[in-house]
Amino acid sequence: MTREIARRFNHVFGAEPDFEIKAKAAVKKLGAKRGKIYSQLRTRYQEQGEADALDQGHALLAEAASLSLGDRERLFGYLEGSRRVILVSA
């Protein structure tokens, strides 16, 4: 039940104008090497559905100290192919 509440909350309140443009700008803030790895992980997760790529992407974003909280949330959502993730469902 909590997953559904988190999913609905993110759906309603995670909408953001120009989300994809802001997400691409946030990827650039990761730096060249990490940005490339992030893009590869995003592609692997969205095209092949590899859960391991999603886990690695989350770990990459968790250790990126140069990101603001808003950019981090935005990139979590962009990685998963959705909107900005505010509430994380476990």
What is the model's pTM?
Answer: 0.71
What per-residue confidence (pLDDT) applies to 84? 60
13, pLDDT greater than 60: yes
Report long-range pairs for 37-44 (Cβ below 8 Å, ≥24 apart): 38/75, 38/79, 41/79, 42/78, 42/79
Higher pLDDT, 22 or 82: 22
- 72: closest CA among 33, 39, 37, 23? 23
pLDDT tens-digit series, residues 38-86: 999 999 998 888 889 989 999 999 898 888 888 888 888 888 877 666 6
pLDDT band at 88; cut points 50, 70, 90: low
What is the mean pLDDT of the segment spanning 10-33?
Answer: 81
32, pLDDT greater than 60: yes
